Every structure is written in C-alpha cells, then in structure tokens.
Amino acid sequence: MRILRRIAEVRAAVSEARGEGRSIGLVPTMGALHEGHLSLIRRARADTGFVVVSLFVNPTQFAANEDLGAYPRTEERDAALAADAGADVLFAPPVEEVYPDGFATTIHVSGVTEVLDGKHRGAGHFDGVATVVAKLFQIVAPDDAYFGQKDAQQVLVIRRLARDLDIPVRIVACPTVRESDGLAMSSRNIYLDPASRERATALNRALAAAQAAVTGPETSAVTVLTAAHRVLAQAGIEPEYLELRSPHDLAELDRIGDGALLAVAARVGAARLIDNRILEAH
C-alpha cells in the first residue's frame, strides 16, 4: 500500500489502475480506524480492483464548539490497519492540499440536511461533508464509494449529492458494526470512561426496545419513542434527539408504515454518540 499526500499523485495512481482495467473503490474516513471502517475497506476490496482509503480530518464539518482539535489522529496505526484490510492507496493529504489558499466553494444539499444532525450540529456540518466528499469524488473518480449505515443521514446526503450533480458513482451503505455489547463502533468511543462506556450501551438497547414495541404498520411513533425513551432514562441519558423519520427522505413519521428510521444522538460522558435502526412492522 502506498501513502500519498498530493491530489496529482492519487490521480496518477488511479489512472494507472484504470489503464490496467481495474475498477476503483473509495472509502472516505477521518482516521482513527476501527472495525467499522475496516469492514468497508474489505467490502471495497471484494467489490473492486483498486481501493483508495482517504484519511482526512475535515475541518469544515466541525463547528467552533466541537472536537476538531481533540479528534484522534493515529495515522501510523491507521495505515497498518488499512493495508491489512486491503487498501492499495491511503490518501492522507494536509489541509492545504484539500483547501488551498483562496478556497471559496461550498456545496449545500437541501432537503435532508435540516433535521437531526443538521439541526443540532448546525447547517455547516453537512455543507462540510458534502464539499469534501464531492472533492474526493472528483479526485478519485471511484466506481463505488463505501459508507457506514451508522451515519444514516450522511448516507442520504451523499446519495442526493451524487444524484443531483450527476456524479457516476455507486454509493454503497454497509451495515453498522457493533461491539459485543451492542455499542455502535465509533472513533469517538475512545472518549468514554468505563462508567460512560457502560451507559452508552443504552442507545442500542433503546433502539431494540423500540423495535420490540412495534406490533404492526399502524404502530404509532409515540409508542416506539416512549419505549426507547424509557431505556435511555434508566441509564440517565437525555437524548439530543430521538426521532422517527422516513429512511428515504427523513420526513417525520407518525407511524411505522412500511419501515421507519429511528435515529438517536446523545452526549454520554465526554462523547457525542449517534445510532439508528430501521424499524420493521411484524
């Protein structure tokens, strides 16, 4: 695996791979790799002939009061893990390579960014995500790009970005990878002390309780949200949001219907965590 810092180097490597008839897979990350990231890299390895993993802590998606400075940066470890999982290139650019002096363009995706994380982290969060992902799509020109379903809203934003801008890339959403106790894997889990780590398992248990409360397509949002809130309250967690939304466009739902996205965000100890589950009628 090669570690590349410059856009021109990545484009040259991709061009060479395409010349050899290989398809291109892209796995965008902010580093601090865990098994969730590695599952994406392995899926890209299985699907495509040449795998590019980006490692870039994107400053434009952090608000002023967020953890940009503290966000874990473990490039040497990440490079070894990415190589073992099957990456051909690790693109780890400096900030000035992605945002050179005078950079003045921002991409805003309407319709799926105003709620959930967009509401609570600020409109600039998904502007930053959309802009950097659009740049990565331009740099790598992947056939397939891989994202984790834990960031369900982000997946919808990127799907709409690719659709609206006619970017010829297949967006592959891969299942959330969890610890043995159900906690969704996240780079921010390292912020959790032992007591907070135990409390954090309530997020997934709340989602499971909501699913257990579903008795059919007419099950109300109030019923499933009440079941989930009860589990969170028992763990002393007040969610930043806990909402039932359409998995297709994030419209607010008042019943389960043919499937609903239950999304949660909460601060547990020093970490802000998110999770979600598609609730199915049974």
- Of 37, 108, 125, 229, the active-site residue reads 37
Average pLDDT over residues 186-190: 95
Is 119 known to sit in a ligand binding site?
no
Is 34 known to sit in a ligand binding site?
yes
Respond yes or no: is residue 37 known to be catalytic. Answer: yes
Q: At what angle do helices 75-85 and 35-47 cross, to 10 degrees?
A: 40
pLDDT at 65: 87
pLDDT at 175 over 90: yes
pLDDT in tens, 59-99: 999 998 899 999 999 999 999 999 999 999 999 999 999 99
Residue type, 119: K
pLDDT at 282 over 90: no
Q: At what angle do helices 123-140 and 152-164 cross, to 10 degrees?
A: 60
Nearest CA to 41 out of 83, 69, 7 is that of 83
pLDDT in tens, 227-253: 999 999 999 999 999 999 999 999 999
The domains of the chain, with CATH numbers, are: 2-174 (3.40.50.620), 187-275 (3.30.1300.10)
Is 19 known to sit in a ligand binding site?
no
Percent of the chain with pLDDT over 90: 98
Is 32 known to sit in a ligand binding site?
yes
pLDDT at 123 over 90: no
Is 180 known to sit in a ligand binding site?
no
